[in-house]
Structure 1
Amino acid sequence: MTVNEQQEPSVSMRIALLGLALLLAACGESPTGRTQVTLVPDQQMAAIGERTFNEMLRAQPVLRDSRVREQVHCITKALVDALPAPHGDWSVAVFKDETPNAFALPGGKIGINTGMLRIASTPDQLAAVIAHEIGHVIADHSNERLTQQLAVQGGLMLVDLFADEPDSLAHEALRKALGIGAQYGVLLPYSRTHETEADLLGLELMADAGFDPRASLTLWRKMAAAAEGQPLEFLSTHPSNESRLEDLAAEMDAALARYQQAQQGGRRPRCG
């Protein structure tokens, strides 16, 4: 072997160095100061969000009740206006679906099911739901989740690439173990982190917009009562109801101070 050959990095080393460079370039902070990695360009994420939202609008019936739509748009506008920095255009739609759920997509797309409106029965409670979804968007959670999934897929591809016997039972067992480990060790915990972060960001945002943050506790108690059952927190993509309420209660004094300041500053949304 020549000196040049000895100094030539292996394929695995090249991949590792490339991966490290990408991670360093993509490292940033969420609005709460948490370190996060996002590899997908914002424009591409926004395009994904818009395409998905348009597909849902075509595939699912949308509520046409003008009173409800005006209320939802009023609450959304008040929340968006209270954001510390502009975040582009926002769209919100109410879908005819009795499942108590809401979602957010990159690019400022928000969907609310009619089933959620039966639980979030006041403007303040509905503001808690929408603010939570806005929290997901401004914290770039979709990009972070997609990056995690790409990383898991990349890791499994490396296992296949460097396997001595790709078709062996040992290799297949290793591949499955890596997949399970990534699911429960990375993807689900990060999802719980995202939900908790969106709760706290939403709590601050609704208070800044002039909505009573105490309504968030009422909302999640009602959600807990409406749920027939919930999986163990360890195996769930959401925090347990008890954890969620404890985290919100711990931040309530600070949120109430923001709410009072917003009210004194003239932020008093009329979205009834």
Structure 2
Amino acid sequence: MPVKLERKHALPLTLAPIMIALGFVLFKLYTASKVTNPETGRVARVGIDPEQEQRLGLEAYAQVKRDEAAKIVQSGPDVELVKRVTNRLARAAAEKATVQYNWEVSVIQSNEKNAFCLPGGKIVVYTGIIPIAKNEAGLATVLGHEMAHATSRHGAERLFRSELTKTILGGFQGGLAQMDPAQRQTIMGALGAGAKYGATLPFSRTQESEADHIGLIYMARAGYDPKEAVAFWQRMDEQVGKGGSPPQFMSDHPSHNTRIGHLQTWMPEAEKEFASHHQHNAPGA
């Protein structure tokens, strides 16, 4: 008598946790606060209000200052340069901003070629970036970009999207609970990689490009020649050299060549801002 084999499903999937997760995501999308970027008009969904965002930024800034206390530069040419550029950019950003920021900047003695702006307008500049910036306009390229992240509320938008991604992945993990642990781990790893390379990194690059665009407008509005932004990124590209950065699809930032191409596309808009600034500030204007 032939033995009847019971066929097992290759993918024992329980739909209930997945459907619950998707329902929660749809609810969050429907109820989330929407903000319109005052410079680009892009509508974004955010998970926290400006007060919460600024509070998180203040906490992170205080931690950075504690960690780097011995390296913070209190005075001198670098500090004066950074503060001068920051003040001009802050006035430019305030012209269309929907949230006003109490900008604050710390300069840290370090070879690191970097700067960042935390939610709420707290800026950290490492002295290693200053030689590459080369001049005030070059530094305005860097700081305008970083300040644009804050005024665009990119941190709150990333937090919202991160929560949605975690919810969906959590739903799938619950749906695969009956599966062999090794197989479940393989599938979750594939889903996580798909989310990273298919959604998270491309979205991060979109935010970076938006910050480049708005930063270019800020520097032009502040009276800095926007063409200097292209020159800055060309210098950065020379610093990194060929093979020094990962392929764009694996990075959370656009490649230098992509950035330069985008900046050149936005240049006519920035040059109008630059011309308007000169006209507005001309004697007798």
TM-score after normalising by structure 2: 0.84
What residue ranges of structure 1 are gaps of 5+ in the alignment? 1-9
Contact 2:17/2:171 (CA < 8 Å) preserved in 1? no
- Give the Cα separation in 1 of the matches to 2:154 and 2:269: 24
- Give the Cα separation in 2 of the matches to 1:12 and 1:174: 14
Letter of the 1:178 counterpart? L
After superposing on structure 2, the runs of 4+ consecutive aligned residues of structure 1 that deviate more than 4 Å are 10-15
Alpha-carbon displacement from aligned partner over 1:161-185 (angstroms, at most 9, x marks no partner): 2334155333222211111111111
Residue 29 of structure 1: CA displacement? 3.5
- Give the Cα separation in 1 of the matches to 2:190 and 2:36: 30
The aligned counterpart of 2:225 is: 212
Contact 2:25/2:164 (CA < 8 Å) preserved in 1? no
What residue ranges of structure 2 are gaps of 5+ in the alignment? 1-15
Q: Percent identity?
A: 32
Compared CA separation, residues 157 and 14, structure 1 to 2 (3 A)? closer
- Give the Cα separation in 2 of the matches to 1:267 and 1:103: 33
Question: Structure 1 residues 20-29 or 72-81, which shifts more?
Answer: 20-29
Letter of the 1:145 counterpart? R
For the aligned residue pairs, the C-alpha RMSD in angstroms reads 2.0
Once the two structures are superposed, the pairs formed by residues 95-110 of structure 1 within 5 Å of their partners are: 95-110=108-123
Q: What's the secondary structure of 2:73's corresponding residue?
A: coil
Compared CA separation, residues 227 and 202, structure 1 to 2 (3 A)? same
- Give the Cα separation in 2 of the matches to 1:64 and 1:43: 28
- Give the Cα separation in 2 of the matches to 1:133 and 1:181: 28
The aligned counterpart of 2:37 is: 30
Letter of the 1:41 counterpart? D
Q: What's the secondary structure of 1:239's corresponding residue?
A: coil
Match of 2:184 among 171, 178, 192: 171
- Give the Cα separation in 2 of the matches to 1:175 and 1:11: 15
The aligned counterpart of 2:138 is: 125
Residue 239 of structure 1: CA displacement? 0.8
- Give the Cα separation in 2 of the matches to 1:78 and 1:36: 27
Question: Structure 1 residues 249-258 or 192-201, which shifts more?
Answer: 249-258
The aligned counterpart of 1:77 is: 87
Is 1:258–2:273 an aligned residue pair? Answer: yes
Contact 2:20/2:171 (CA < 8 Å) preserved in 1? no
Residue 226 of structure 1: CA displacement? 0.8
Once the two structures are superposed, the pairs formed by residues 11-50 of structure 1 within 5 Å of their partners are: 13=19, 15-26=21-32, 27-31=34-38, 32-50=40-58
The aligned counterpart of 2:63 is: 55
Contact 1:135/1:198 (CA < 8 Å) preserved in 2? yes
Match of 1:236 among 247, 251, 259: 251
Is 1:190–2:203 an aligned residue pair? Answer: yes
Residue 33 of structure 1: CA displacement? 2.8
TM-score after normalising by structure 1: 0.88
Q: What's the secondary structure of 2:72's corresponding residue?
A: coil
Number of residue-to-residue matches in the alignment: 259
Residue 45 of structure 1: CA displacement? 1.7
Residue 126 of structure 1: CA displacement? 0.8
- Give the Cα separation in 1 of the matches to 2:164 and 2:155: 14
